[in-house]
Structure 1
Amino acid sequence: MAPISENIRGALLMMGGMCAYTVNDAFMKALSDEIPLFEAVLWRGVGAIICLLIMCRMMGQLRFDLPRREWGLITLRSLGEVGGTYFFLTALFNMPIANVSAILQSLPLTVSLSAMIFLNEPLGWRRMAAISIGFAGVLLIIQPGGADFNLFSMYALAAVACITLRDVVVRRMSRDVPSVFVALIAAVGVTMLGGIGSLFTETVPFTTKATLQLLGATGFLICGYIFSVTAMRWGEISFVAPFRYTSLVVALVLGVVVFGEWPNMLTIIGATIVVATGLFTLYRESRYRVRRVPVPSGR
């Protein structure tokens, strides 16, 4: 069996991360019925920090001796994580989960273009065409979904900008910087956001239901952190980024099953286009890898 290429490994990690993040989003949206935003972010973050700290200790990944350059990149990435969390969750608490997820599907385009501009990564016309067609599918979902560009839609777009920054910055890090440690620092930053915000909002006691929802959100958030950090460090961003579209499919399913948000026909068509572009990109990578494998010469 041929070894998995870096691009395909990154794509699989991205799919896992997006599934985890979206399930976490569903837990947080359900939690918003009882718990204020900043309080939910605070306590979810505390749980994430504890788990990630234990993982770092067990894996020997607590690396405070990193070079100044790496600390600068980790700090910049964490700021992107904090901004993305605030803007995204604010939008999520006030919009249908599928609509917010649909707006975030512009990320493959913004991340790939940013990588081409700032990191000089090549972007072939076939991948660019696939990403553009996928983005057109996202537009089909946004328009019929009834999510007019109000304040909360703008918050979702601001989240896109912050997450783009986060993912481009992590690409500049050395692979010697442990992924779990990067996730831990990001979790500390997001938890500080929740703590500061909680000082200015009224706290609410947790019910048993809210506690279970918070535990679920925390567990899936940790998986999302680790998978997404690792994914962006394998393969080309222009290849890995389109697999963010996985979150759209998961969000549509959760919207129907959990929140009773039934998509219309145009939404289904848009989601189909998005999935098809991801599969086409995976197919192109597989063909490209076959061409690169040298044929052994006979003796």
Structure 2
Amino acid sequence: MNEGQAARPSGVAEARPDRTRLAGIALMCGTLAFFACLDASAKALARAGIDPLLTTFMRYAVSVALISLFLNPVTTPAVVHSRRLGLQVVRSLLLFGSTALNFLALRHLQLAETLSIQFAAPLTVALLAGPLLGEWSSRKRLTAIGVGFLGVLVIVRPGVGEVHPAVLLSLGNMLCYALYIIMTRKLAAYDSTATTMFYSGLAGLALMAPLLPWIWTTPAAWWAWSLLIGVGLLGTMGHWLLILAHARAPASVLAPFLYTQLLWSLLLGFFVFGDVPNRFTVLGAAIIVGSGLYLLAQDAIGRRGQPAA
């Protein structure tokens, strides 16, 4: 065996982690493409006269049905046992609130506009992690968070020009999603991932079911039925790909690719709805993304044990 042949197994072994990380990144990008298509589907349904609350119901009805095929009390009895059932219910309601507010906002706002505001959720998590989780931020991190919220103000422009009231729905979506992330982190110390997934859509589904007679609209076109079922499939598949991505690459590697969803939203908004974001949305999104990337860089430096710059 020559030196080249002897070195080959080592090179192959070293290449495997790189390929695994690349696979994780590809899965993450696929996840965000699914989520962007989910928002575009919800917006198309709203334009077709379908109540966004009905779209929200279908989002969870399809998701719960699919998840129950694999996680249910019959095949996995332990999945229903939660050590913090109250937190599970609150987390599920926050997820429902985030989805419903987002779908209601999309009826009036552009895809890129709602998503840019939602990107402030990680900043809100970093701000609230101190009082709620005991994870206090440094002065530099707080400054970055403040800059990120300035980006939100650039998009919303309170008191400057005409702002659609639906922006408030998008801000509510962002806050609900940030609190949902915090509840998910708290529950990780008590319940398994399977248990948390099992409860994710149940509270929202239970809350929406009694409202069906008042929000039901029978779609006249086959494509509307397809999109109603599709929002559930896209959401479920997106979360499944997200789990697969995190199993193949660290969160610090995947996190920067979250912002590819903005690119998908811009493309779908333009080609499907003819939306062109205004300069305030573009500038505000750039500020929020830059602030978020700075926080990610600080986290990476902290994990390496180096002083944060």
TM-score, normalised via structure 2 length: 0.72
Match of 1:88 in 2: 102
- Matching residue within 40, 43, 57 for 1:42: 57
Where 2:136 maps in the other structure, the secondary structure is coil
**Structure 1 residues 103 and 283 mapped into 2: Cα distance closer, same or farther (>3 Å)?**
closer
Relative to structure 1, the CA distance from residue 198 to residue 265 in structure 2 (aligned partners, 3 Å threshold; closer, same or farther) is same
**Contact between 2:41 and 2:227, CA under 8 Å: does it hold in 1?**
yes
Aligned match for 1:55, one of 57, 62, 70: 70
Identity of aligned residues (%): 28
Query: Is residue 2:124 matched to residue 1:110?
Result: yes
Equivalent pair of 2:256/2:293 in contact (CA under 8 Å): no
Which residue pairs with 2:156 in the alignment? 142
- Compared CA separation, residues 81 and 282, structure 1 to 2 (3 A): closer
Preserved CA contact (<8 Å) 1:40 1:194: no
Q: Specify the alignment match of 1:173 in structure 2.
A: 187
Contact 1:99 1:147 in 2 (8 A): no
Does the 8 Å contact 1:105/1:135 carry over to 2? no
Instruction: Judge which range, 13-22 or 170-179, deviates more.
Output: 13-22
Unpaired runs of 5+ in structure 1?
A: 5-9, 293-299
1:190 aligned to which of 199, 204, 208: 204
For 1:15 and 1:139, the matched residues in 2 are separated by: 28
Aligned to 1:218: 232
CA RMSD after TM alignment: 4.0
Task: List gaps (5 residues or longer) in structure 2.
Answer: 1-13, 19-23
Amino acid at match of 1:204: T
SS of equivalent to 1:272: helix
The equivalent of 2:134 in structure 1 is: 120
**SS across alignment from 1:258:** helix
Counterparts in 2 of 1:67 and 1:178: CA distance versus 1, 3 Å: closer
> Given that residues 44 and 214 in structure 1 are in contact (C-alpha distance below 8 angstroms), is that contact kept between their aligned partners in structure 2?
yes
Q: Aligned match of 1:29 in 30, 43, 50?
A: 43
Greater Rg, structure 1 or structure 2?
Answer: 2
Q: Give a deviation string over 1:15-58, Cα, whole Å, max 9, x none.
A: 7765543321111111221422233233332221121112326x
1:235 and 1:176 map into 2 onto residues whose CA distance is 22
Higher relative contact order (CA 8 A, sep 6+): 1
Name the structure 2 match of 1:295: none
Q: CA deviation at 1:82?
A: 2.2
Measured in 2, the distance between the counterparts of 1:26 and 1:162 equals 20
The count of corresponding residues between Structure 1 and Structure 2 is 281
Partner Cα distance (1:130, 1:22) in 2: 26
Asked if residue 97 in structure 1 is aligned to residue 123 in structure 2, the reply is no
Give per-residue Cα distances to partners, 1:103-156, cap 9 Å, x unaligned.
323322322211111111132334333333333233333339977152x22222
The answer to whether the 8 A contact 2:116-2:288 is kept is: no
Q: Which amino acid aligns with 1:185?
A: Y
Give the number of the structure whose residues are more often helix, by fraction. 2
1:209 — aligned with what?
223
Report the Cα offset of residue 166 of structure 1: 1.7
**Aligned counterpart, 1:132:** 146
Measure, in 2, the Cα distance between the counterparts of 1:189 and 1:257.
Answer: 35
Cα separation, 1, equivalents of 2:292 and 2:129? 18
CA contact (8 A) 2:79 2:198 kept: no
How has the CA–CA distance of structure 1 residues 128 and 62 changed in structure 2, closer, same or farther, with 3 Å as cutoff?
farther
User: Judging changes above 3 Å, is the alpha-carbon distance between structure 1 residues 68 and 269 closer, same or farther for their aligned structure 2 residues?
Assistant: closer
| 2:78 partner SS | coil
Task: Give the Cα–Cα distance (whole angstroms) in 1 for the partners of residues 210 and 266 of structure 2.
Answer: 33
